[in-house]
């Protein structure tokens, strides 16, 4: 999929393709009897100001909700522990370097979980977020211990 200006016919073709994808998504949810889907928000916690250019692609899982017209929300679940503040990889590209910078000093930053529900089932999404909040672990590894 290329970015940039589109003719009206190209735009309508993209809309047609999106509708087909949404229909396939809904059929899959129906076939598998899925009402709620939990997904990571990102593979890293909140990133430093200025790193969004490199790390925005990490949030690809959050783009699906808009594309598929699904209600979605994010709930805090835990926080980064002091012994989790490294990013180890064999890669040395700018994304790996930005992820490594993000993990330095990340102790206490919240880590969330994303909730997606069936299209037009907004109330189910809100109920799921409330249930996650009620079930969320509290204590040293929770958002209650986040650093100021």
Residue 114 has pLDDT above 80, yes or no: yes
Compute the average pLDDT of residues 117-131: 95
Query: Between these two residues, 148 and 132, which has the higher pLDDT value?
Result: 132
In total, the chain counts a number of residues equal to 148
pLDDT for res 126: 97
Q: What is the pLDDT of residue 147?
A: 41
Average pLDDT rounded to a whole number, residues 16-35: 95
Contact 113, 41 (CB under 8 A): yes
Write down the mean pLDDT value for the chain: 87
Q: Is the dihedral of CA 120, 65, 141, 109 positive or negative?
A: negative
pLDDT tens string 74-107:
998 888 999 999 888 899 988 888 888 889 888 9
Model pLDDT for residues 134-148, shown as the tens digit of each residue:
998 776 544 454 443
H/E/C letters for each residue in the chain? Answer: CCCCCCCHHHHHHHHHHHHHHHHHHHHHHHHCCCCEEEEECCCCCCCCCCCHHHHHHHHHHHHHHHHCCCCEEEEEEEECCHHHCCCCCCCCCHHHHHHHHHHCCCCCCEEEEEEEECCCCHHHHHHHHHHHHHHCCCCCCCHHHCCC
pLDDT at 139: 66
**pLDDT bucket at 55, cuts 50 / 70 / 90:** confident
State CA 78 to chain mean position distance: 15
pTM of the model: 0.76
By mean pLDDT, which of 43-57, 72-86, 116-130 is the weakest?
43-57
Structure tokens at 109: 């930053």
């Amino acid at each position: 999929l290329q970015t940039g200006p589109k003719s009206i016919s190209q735009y309508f073709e993209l809309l047609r393709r999106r509708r087909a994808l949404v229909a396939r998504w809904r059929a899959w949810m129906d076939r598998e009897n899925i009402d709620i889907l939990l997904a990571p928000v990102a593979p890293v916690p909140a990133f430093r100001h200025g790193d969004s250019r490199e790390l925005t692609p990490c949030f690809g899982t959050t783009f699906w909700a808009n594309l598929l017209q699904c209600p979605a929300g994010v709930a805090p679940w835990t926080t980064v522990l002091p012994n989790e503040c490294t990013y180890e990889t064999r890669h040395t590209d700018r994304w790996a370097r930005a992820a490594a910078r993000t993990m330095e000093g990340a102790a206490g930053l919240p880590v969330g979980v994303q909730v997606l529900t069936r299209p037009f089932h907004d109330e189910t999404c809100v109920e799921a977020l409330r249930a996650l909040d009620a079930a969320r672990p509290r204590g040293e590894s929770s958002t209650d211990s986040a650093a100021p």
